[in-house]
Amino acid sequence: MSLEKEKGSSILTNELLARSQRRIMVFYVGGTIGMKKNEEGSLEPCAQYLTREMEQMHELQSSVEIAPFDVIEYEKLLDSSDMDHTDHLRIARDIAKHYDAYDGFLIAHGTDTMHYTASALSFLLNNLAKPVVVTGAMVPLAEPFNDARRNLIIGMMIASNPKICEVCVFFNDSLFRGNRCDKVSHSYAAFKTINYPALGVIEASRFVLRERLLLSQPTGGMSILSDLSGRVMHFDLHPEADVDTLLVLLSKKVLDGIVLSVNGVGHLKGVVAAKARAISRTAAAHNVVVSVVIRELRGCLARKEAERIRHLEYGALAYVGDMCASTAQVKMAYLFGKGLSPTEVARQMPLNLRGEVTPIPAAPGSKM
Ligand code: ASP
């Protein structure tokens, strides 16, 4: 029997009724979203401001699409430009601490490294069965004209939706898989999804969730299996790149792995190819994992090109598919942080663990 009921002008469906029985935990960790202007007109963190506003915003309190919620504000508000794996781990552990008591989580966060945090949470929260929505704003809630209010309200609607069981970023008008987006501009549309469609968009006057694109419900219990302790460096390979310094680092064994951004496979006799071979030889000699990503934001190498990197010319280098460079760094730190061997980390880097990568396409004409 349908549980449809009239409440004011809204029709309460089974799912919406169920939302009022759910509960969301909000962590305000820092960022512009809750900042205020000081006397000189510069933005600065303002303790308790966002928390108090959220507790009073009638849109959050009275919408049938938003479950009741509690807010925990970090005592020292973090600027995301300074956040590292210790902070990512802290947020993951805070979610784990409240995981059984809440049905969804919203992280109010700075924009500068929001995509790193979302990626890190996507790997850390193994068997996640509830929505974790990361959002922020370019203009704080305290300003008369801002994107904070909308990002918060829609973010809370998404965090209240039981169909989602993954880490997402909501920003401007789109919901992105957390490990598939990047900050691309200093505007309201600061984030874009890379190599995977948006999980949801605002169409005309409503938010449409594309359910077929979502990760499916896991079977086991949620747990954190890594401390992100891998020592990973991102290195941009181009003709002027200072590879000699990198070779010194590799031979001193101060790194577990490198994410190497390249422009393409390159000419085998070229300067860049010679640098790549030197990196490969030294990394192999010191057991350092080298995962290759391409610098272009969209697209990926064909299988034949990927195999040229792996097997023929560069030995230890392995192309890991259409992952964002930021996601590749976080994933490598995650895999080493699980205590895996370099061989196992190299094997798992191109595998799809959390929807972060598309299997490498077959070369035209090849039998795959
Ligand atoms: N620096 C701020 C941060 O990332 C910028 C922002 O929130 O947009 O925390």
- Would you name the residues annotated as active-site residues? 32, 111
> In the CATH scheme, what is the code of domain 232-349?
3.40.50.40
Query: Is 110's C-beta closer than 6 angstroms to any atom of ligand 1?
Result: yes
- Tell me the C-alpha distance between 271 and 101, whole Å: 57
Please write the tens of the pLDDT for every residue from 246-278: 999 999 989 999 999 988 766 667 888 889 889
- pLDDT of res. 11: 54
- Asked whether this chain's domains 17-224 and 232-349 adopt the same fold, the reply is yes
Please write the tens of the pLDDT for every residue from 10-57: 455 677 667 778 999 999 999 999 999 999 999 999 999 999 999 999
List the alpha helices (DSSP H) in 253-297. 271-285
Q: What is the mean pLDDT of the chain?
A: 91
Dist. CA 118 → ligand 1 center (Å) = 14
CATH topology of domain 17-224: Rossmann fold (3.40.50)
Dist. CA 31 → ligand 1 center (Å) = 4
58, 59, 63, 69 alpha-carbon torsion, rounded to 10°? -80
DSSP SS3 for 300: coil
User: What percent of the chain shows pLDDT beyond 90?
Assistant: 77
Give me the DSSP letters along 65-95. TS--EEEEE-SSPPPGGG--HHHHHHHHHHH
The domain locations on the chain are: 17-224, 232-349
70 is in an annotated binding site: no
pTM of the predicted model, to two decimals?
A: 0.92
